[in-house]
Copies of this chain bind each other. A is one copy, B any other.
Amino acid sequence: MNAEPAPAPELDVTEWLNAGPLTLAGLRGRVVVLEAFQMLCPSCVSHSLPQAKRVAATFSSDDVVVLGLHTVFEHHEAMGPVSLRAFAHENRLTFPIAIDRHDDHDPTPVTFARYGMRGTPTTVLVDRAGQVRNQAFGSVPDLALGAQIAALAAER
């Protein structure tokens, strides 16, 4: 884990796929794996989204919730909700996916900024108490990610 624990900023999003609106506050008590991605980011497609599917399949949803965050900061016109929906269908993403909000004409999305993200993919681990315990930009190996999630799941 590389981050000093700090309260996880709430998501500020405009739309959800695969689920009704969710909030981190409402998921308190469970570990949240927040996978921030863009549908046209190659290493999101090849690495982090397949990994997020494996996480959802490996851990019990009583303990661990996987959320996608579609957080577009470039090529906005190519990655709108209609495109994302087709992408999620074709890639069989079945976990809840939130679409990050844009304020006015700011190209940087709101939740992305709140978390101080540097790009995609970014994987954020939020513990049962709602604290950010790890935030990693780029690829995380499966072995380390499995260990980090399980360590948080073991906290009561």
Judge whether A40 is part of the interface by a CB distance below 8 angstroms: yes
Q: Which B residues are in CB contact (< 8 Å) with A78?
A: 82-83, 85-87
CB distance from A41 to the nearest CB of B (A): 7
CB-nearest residue of chain B to A59 = B147
Contacting residues of chain A (77-100) with chain B, CB-CB under 8 angstroms: 77-79, 82-83, 85-87, 89-91
| Copies of this chain held together in the complex | 4
Chain B residues with CB under 8 A of A89: 75
How far, in Å, is A154 (CB) from chain B's closest CB? Answer: 4
Task: Judge if A46 is at the interface, Cβ distance under 8 Å.
Answer: yes
Report the minimal beta-carbon distance from A127 to chain B, rounded to whole angstroms. Answer: 13
Determine whether A21 belongs to the interface, using a CB cutoff of 8 Å to chain B: no
